[in-house]
Structure 1
Amino acid sequence: MTQRPESHDAAADDDVIQPINAEGVDEAAVESNRRLYGGWRWLLFGALAIAYSLFHLVSLNVYPLETWSFRIVHIAGALILGYGFYAGTRFAEHERERSAAWLGWLSYALLVPAGYALVRTWLMHQAMSDGAMRIAPEIEAWHFGYPLLLATVGGILLSWAYRQVRETLSPADLVLMVCSLAVAGYLLVMFNSPLRASTGTPFAPMGISYAAIAGSLLILELTRRVAGLALVVISVIFLAYVFAGPYLPGFLGYPGLSVGRFFSQVYTDAGILGPTTAVSSTYIILFIIFAAFLQASKVGDYFVNFAFAAAGRARGGPAKVSIFASGLMGMINGTSAGNVVSTGSLTIPLMKKVGYPARSAGAIEAAASTGGQIMPPIMGAGAFIMAEVTGIPYTEIAVAALIPAILYFLSIYCMVDFEAARKGMRGMRKEEIPQFRRLVKQVYLFAPIIILIVALFMGYSVIRAGTLATASAAVVSWLSPHKMGVRAILKALQLAGTMSIQIIAVCACAGLIVGVIALTGVGARFSSLLLGLAGVSQLLALFFAMCISILLGMGMPTTAAYAVAASVVAPGLISIGIEPLVAHFFVFYFAVVSAITPPVALASYAAAGISGDNAMGTSVASFKIGLAAFIVPFMFFYSPAMLMEGSWLQILRVGITATLGIVLLAAVVQAWFFGPVKAWQRLVMLVGALFMIYGGIYTDVAGLAIGAALFLMQRRLHGGGGGPSPASAAS
């Protein structure tokens, strides 16, 4: 990125003005615990990542596998890659910080039980192939289960203590990779035999439970490494509930499950291999590959430069650029925090430069990047899970998301615009932004996304449309300076393999929670609680559902947050008479905005790290800027037309009045409309905004009357309306 340096001398500025040129937006961030290999290790793990991506492309399009087998291999591959790339503790910066040699030898010693469990898996496969009906329990316990659990627990504990340089693989993690293979191998043997039908019964082989316990521990540990402790802590609480439930009072109590019965079922499609893994192994991995191909052809750089050219000259230009860029990048970036890092490193410094305080700059970027998760057609990964859970076609979900996404980004735009007007900020100069006419010549870079949308609405399956869009990204790159040859395609496949690790671990971990909910019936008891609240007030039930959705999502990636909320909260909303689409959108929105909700707001924290401001202050400010996202879900309930449910006349009326209401709400928050807004005017404006957001015909009329009166009053007082202050005009 090049830009003119900070200066307070206008004349000097004019001499050194250079246009913005976004570069490196597509570069993947390297986490602090991510290994950076060289030599043969780089070749080995690069080849593994490429093979992992190719496995999914071939299985999804050419040679499909049996469903459970496919998902088991999907998780096992992510575990092997994850333990290969991500360390369990921070790296040693100096030679003297490296762990003692005995820790390494102890780790290597654990390869013996891990390798033995893997060998026994092969021998059990041979026995079953030769006609054995089942394996003797003592063999499963002493020759598979106990060695596997010893190696898994020992490997995890040693990985926390073992420190090495960034370029080497820890022997403890090598043990965990072997354990991952042993778990997958045993489950493949048993689930491809008649014993598969015995899961969840007293007749289930205990080996399935041993494999499931080890597999759950491996998933939890990898999730800790790639996504932090929040999801792991919530998963452990749910697991503890399985065995503590019989001793709990009130609606939380239930009869209880034995260790064998629970774990023999949790690694099936009732839990870990259920809806979340179904989505991660199909739609999510496919769109990660699509995103990797777009990154390889530098589409992200183009998106950001296009946003600068389109919005950079408006007042507070860089803030509006962040809105456009984050909306575009959100289509190819799976997380709010990841979106902040990719676009915020460019837009936040520029926002500060034109007059935004560090806190506002970070908050605007966090709120805009969070909105990328609700932007059709891709909507992060949550939309795919919604389609899987509800059975509603993905195209319907994408269409339903259109008006709410427009309202959200309009709200942020108005917040930004009113703040820029209030503070007299300027836009960027013509010389500072890329030339629009030059960027228009490369508009063909949007073609893969357009092809994706067209293919979906022509009736192609999501998998076929995603594959077609991925192939088109490689073809379109030949029209750009970043042509994708064989080497670039292999690099994109390798990038996709490594990018997928986090989201697959998170989905598998969320599947663990979903399994607990399904097997203990806690979701049904929560539904009865909501039903009781709805008897008092439906608004109270919705408010309670909102709080639970946000609480479950705090500190968690969007995908996991929605998956858990969809299992716990959505069935309760449906039980009180809310349509499934409305109920799932309700929890989806609050799962998404948990990324900017204090006190644990991942997107806000990432933005604060770039802006240099206080993390908590930034999260409060981003909460204020994204306020519309906390109101829009209630509009779904009162006005289903917001989700395209109803006649075109209803949809048009609700869309227009809600838009005007959102504009008034932004004016209330920023205390600016066409000029400064007094306290009593803000109060009246808030009433008018809520009337129009509510969506009833009478409230719409009342809201429009209030809005028109305030509009005329502001126009008379402030004339041409909200123009820049004299200071800004001088610049």
Structure 2
Amino acid sequence: MSSEANTGRAEDDGRVIAKGVDDEPTAGNRRLFHGWRFTIAGGFAAIYAAWHVYTLNVAPMETWAFRMTHVMGALILGFLLFAAASFPRERSAVARAQWVAAGLSALPILYALIQVGLMHLDLQGGARAIAAEIEVWHFGVPALAGTLLALLGSWLYRARQDRFAPFDLVLILAALASSSYLLVHLDGTALRMRAGTPFASPGNLYASLVGVLLILELTRRVAGLALVVIALIFVGYAFVGPWLPGFLAHQGFDVQRFFSYIYTDAGILGPTTAVSSTYIILFIIFAAFLQASKVGDYFVNFAFALAGRARGGPAKVAIFASGLMGMINGTSAGNVVATGSLTIPLMKRIGYPPKSAGAVEAAASTGGQIMPPIMGAGAFIMAEITGIPYTEIAVAAIIPAILYFASVYFMVDFEAGKLGMRGMRDDELPRLKQMLKQVFLFLPIIILIAALFMGYSVIRAGTLAMAAAAVVSWLTPHRMGPKAFYRAFEMGGSMSVQIIAVCACAGIIVGVISLTGVGARFSSLLLALAEDSQLLALAFAMFISILLGMGMPTTAAYAVAASVVAPGLVQLGIQPLTAHFFVFYFAVISAITPPVALASYAAAGISGGNPMETSVTSFKIGLAAFIVPFMFFYNPALLFDGSTLEVLRALITATAGVVLLSGGVQGYFFTNTVNPLLRAGLILAALFMIEGGWITDLIGIAVAVAVIATQRFIARAPA
């Protein structure tokens, strides 16, 4: 927490050697503590992460209590680590008046927290309920008033980057008060039965309202405004339903029923938090253990040694490295920052224009989110929502990932050929022999996959992989001892804040969809469209999935789209796995879809290219991703739904199709430039081969052969 990420490269006898590519990127509003402040914040982060590992493996808690504590811990850690705005340039001390104002806003929250303690004693003493006036005037109003004052103060006053912010400490008290009330009443009364009904207690309303405000504020700090704005639109929708037209109309809900409902397992504590509190945080801690053993550096160096010699070498490296890093990285933009700081400057050095260098990295990093076995944590959420075994989802993702990365690879390769780019020289690259000697660093990933397919639970497999990462480190110069273990847990706890906040915020949206029934009405709309054209219904679902995913991290984008779009696709008769993969793909590639393309914008920040031009170019490079989901529908064998022969044929023809599509889009096919007419022929052949039937495959092969023969004839003809 006290040092900047040192992503970049080092020179070793003139060779490009990756250093620190898997270090945690430091956000602009991230506090960097020193001394006793670092000990407090780092210690809490380490305890928070270790508590999850212990609870998940040794001493399970009651489900709601575990999820509430999970969210509460993330709020506390988030307000410790992330400021409400950028830091002041001058290093002036925090004014005494600021501490006084923060103290005044803390008083009502402290009073509310004391009241929670008294409520607990009353309930333990046999009381069946707490009087409404106590819940409102002695808990609810003070807690809400203090929270609103602290939020306002945190926006108006800024503390230095290496100091605690007074008002953020008050927000931590508010998180304790809100969560403590819910936990106390979870044990003492029938909170589950009353939440979301007219019989919900007043205190439940206030505790949930404070919790929602804190989640929205933390999400704004760690993930930007996009998800917060969408969540607020959905919250508003819950109240204005009676005045809306058509299928959007609903009966509307009062404040007490809405907020008590939203903080249940139908909303914030629902599928998204269920996944973030188990699988996601466990794999974030696993990623932290991999960082401690420098496996991320090895992944990138291995990719350089393997692919750096090919034409456009750094771009090929970006593809391989981003695919590997995507297994342990939960966001497209984070993947860009992790590997792009090294690959983008090298791409520019060999001749790629800035927009192309950034676009290649953005497209490759986005592909990392569909890379099994982890798929940027999306596979875990899909398993939670659908009930389909995780291993089945991971297997089904193999061919789609191959198709996507094959498309990006050949897009890059053909552009490099067209521009006459070279590969990197042997003396510029890590030594392959040295990389092969360290191939044992892949063991944690191999053990993870093996454990999953041997029938171990995801939690147990992740824990075994974590232990394997520690053992593997003992064979390297980065041997993990007690300090390294502490550092790994501290990094894991810190890195988990963003994804937990995002999942909790997405839970608000999911709760609104469940409460209002808008998902079912959207399904009816899809069914009506399908009566005219099933393809039209799928296209509409594609646009909605991309729109809902714009500006959001992968997990939130998929969770929201899965709640709105996937049920309608299932009602069309599409298999649940196919429907959810369809939605998942488009939610993921919203990161490279203009006009809001987070991964492309992150890459443009590194390359110096125009953000919009970079996003358009990355959209072009990742074009196959917009076709692959339709391939699932027309050819389920691509998700391993068919005989071995059908799966092999689908893999071969679809791969050939994306290669032809890449040649048609780039206007270059292996060794020669292709004229516009032949480009159209390549694209036509690609579409025939992608469709999946025997007849269309044969037509596609015939067209492709004709185009290639014509191209060779033109190339050999005398000028």
Letter of the aligned partner of 1:330 in structure 2? G
Letter of the aligned partner of 1:69 in structure 2? A
Deviations 1:116-158 (A, max 9, x none): 1111111111110000001000000001000110111111111
Q: Where in structure 2 are there 5+ consecutive unaligned residues?
A: 1-7
Which residue of 2 is the match for residue 149 of structure 1?
A: 144
Determine whether 1:321 maps to 2:317. yes
Q: Distance in 1 between matches of 2:197 and 2:351?
A: 65
Which residue of 1 is the match for residue 5 of structure 2?
A: none
By how many angstroms is 1:718 displaced?
3.8
Q: Distance in 1 between matches of 2:72 and 2:504?
A: 11
Determine whether 1:562 maps to 2:558. yes
CA contact (8 A) 2:226 2:552 kept: yes
SS of the aligned residue for 1:608 comes to helix
Which residue of 2 is the match for residue 728 of structure 1?
A: none
By how many angstroms is 1:717 displaced?
3.9
Which residue of 1 is the match for residue 35 of structure 2?
A: 39
Taking structure 1 as reference, are residues 681 and 564 closer, same or farther at Cα in structure 2, changes over 3 Å only? Answer: same
CA contact (8 A) 1:359 1:618 kept: yes
Which residue of 2 is the match for residue 119 of structure 1?
A: 114
SS of the aligned residue for 1:381 comes to helix
Q: Distance in 2 between matches of 1:17 and 1:412?
A: 32
CA contact (8 A) 1:99 1:162 kept: no
**Match 1:696 to one of 685, 693, 697:** 693
Q: Distance in 2 between matches of 1:169 and 1:134?
A: 38
Alignment of 1:219-234 (within 5 A): 219-234=215-230
SS of the aligned residue for 1:37 comes to coil
CA contact (8 A) 2:10 2:18 kept: no
Q: Where in structure 1 are there 5+ consecutive unaligned residues?
A: 5-15, 721-731
CA contact (8 A) 1:3 1:17 kept: no
Alignment of 1:523-562 (within 5 A): 523-562=519-558
Alignment of 1:225-624 (within 5 A): 225-624=221-620
Deviations 1:580-604 (A, max 9, x none): 0000000100010000000110100
**Match 1:652 to one of 642, 645, 648:** 648
CA contact (8 A) 2:299 2:324 kept: yes
By how many angstroms is 1:101 displaced?
4.4
Taking structure 1 as reference, are residues 653 and 719 closer, same or farther at Cα in structure 2, changes over 3 Å only? Answer: farther
CA contact (8 A) 1:89 1:162 kept: no
Alignment of 1:631-710 (within 5 A): 631-673=627-669, 674-710=671-707
**Match 2:100 to one of 93, 96, 105:** 105
CA contact (8 A) 2:681 2:704 kept: no
Q: After alignment, is 44-53 or 102-111 more displaced?
A: 102-111
Letter of the aligned partner of 1:695 in structure 2? G
CA contact (8 A) 2:678 2:711 kept: no
Q: Distance in 2 between matches of 1:409 and 1:31?
A: 29
Deviations 1:539-574 (A, max 9, x none): 111111111100011110011000000000100111
Q: Distance in 1 between matches of 2:237 and 2:533?
A: 29
CA contact (8 A) 2:105 2:150 kept: yes
By how many angstroms is 1:329 displaced?
0.5
Q: Distance in 1 between matches of 2:94 and 2:53?
A: 40
By how many angstroms is 1:411 displaced?
0.3
SS of the aligned residue for 1:22 comes to strand
**Match 1:713 to one of 693, 710, 715:** 710
Q: Distance in 1 between matches of 2:82 and 2:661?
A: 44
Runs of 4+ in 1 over 6 A off after TM superposition: none
Which residue of 2 is the match for residue 729 of structure 1?
A: none
**Match 1:168 to one of 138, 146, 163:** 163
Alignment of 1:12-31 (within 5 A): 18-31=14-27
Q: Distance in 2 between matches of 1:378 and 1:95?
A: 43
Letter of the aligned partner of 1:682 in structure 2? R
Determine whether 1:198 maps to 2:194. yes
User: What's the Cα RMSD here?
Assistant: 1.3
In the superposition, the TM-score normalised over structure 1's length comes to: 0.96
By how many angstroms is 1:100 displaced?
5.6
Q: Distance in 1 between matches of 2:376 and 2:478?
A: 26
Deviations 1:87-109 (A, max 9, x none): 1111111156x776434321211
CA contact (8 A) 1:21 1:305 kept: yes
Deviations 1:363-410 (A, max 9, x none): 000000000000001100111000000000000000000000000000
Q: Distance in 1 between matches of 2:715 and 2:362?
A: 32
Deviations 1:209-256 (A, max 9, x none): 111100000000000000000000000000000001111111100111
Deviations 1:258-291 (A, max 9, x none): 1111111110101000000000000000000000
Q: Distance in 2 between matches of 1:719 and 1:76?
A: 70
Letter of the aligned partner of 2:556 in structure 1? A
* Equivalent residue pairs, number: 708
Taking structure 1 as reference, are residues 170 and 2 closer, same or farther at Cα in structure 2, changes over 3 Å only? Answer: closer
**Match 2:125 to one of 130, 134, 158:** 130
Deviations 1:675-710 (A, max 9, x none): 111111111111111111111221111001111222
Q: Distance in 1 between matches of 2:188 and 2:95?
A: 45
Q: Distance in 2 between matches of 1:55 and 1:114?
A: 26
Letter of the aligned partner of 2:129 in structure 1? R
Q: After alignment, is 458-467 or 101-110 more displaced?
A: 101-110
SS of the aligned residue for 1:460 comes to coil
Q: Distance in 1 between matches of 2:321 and 2:472?
A: 21
SS of the aligned residue for 1:21 comes to strand
Which residue of 2 is the match for residue 187 of structure 1?
A: 182
By how many angstroms is 1:170 displaced?
1.1
In the superposition, the TM-score normalised over structure 2's length comes to: 0.97
Letter of the aligned partner of 2:686 in structure 1? A
By how many angstroms is 1:3 displaced?
6.5
Taking structure 1 as reference, are residues 418 and 17 closer, same or farther at Cα in structure 2, changes over 3 Å only? Answer: farther
By how many angstroms is 1:486 displaced?
0.6
Letter of the aligned partner of 2:388 in structure 1? I
Q: After alignment, is 107-116 or 709-718 more displaced?
A: 709-718
Letter of the aligned partner of 2:562 in structure 1? A
**Match 1:93 to one of 64, 89, 96:** 89
Letter of the aligned partner of 1:291 in structure 2? A
Letter of the aligned partner of 2:691 in structure 1? Y
Q: Distance in 2 between matches of 1:3 and 1:157?
A: 45
Which residue of 2 is the match for residue 9 of structure 1?
A: none
CA contact (8 A) 1:2 1:19 kept: no
By how many angstroms is 1:648 displaced?
1.1
Which residue of 1 is the match for residue 3 of structure 2?
A: none
Q: Distance in 1 between matches of 2:525 and 2:698?
A: 36
CA contact (8 A) 2:124 2:188 kept: no
CA contact (8 A) 2:289 2:470 kept: yes
CA contact (8 A) 2:23 2:291 kept: yes
Q: Distance in 1 between matches of 2:143 and 2:353?
A: 54
Letter of the aligned partner of 1:608 in structure 2? A
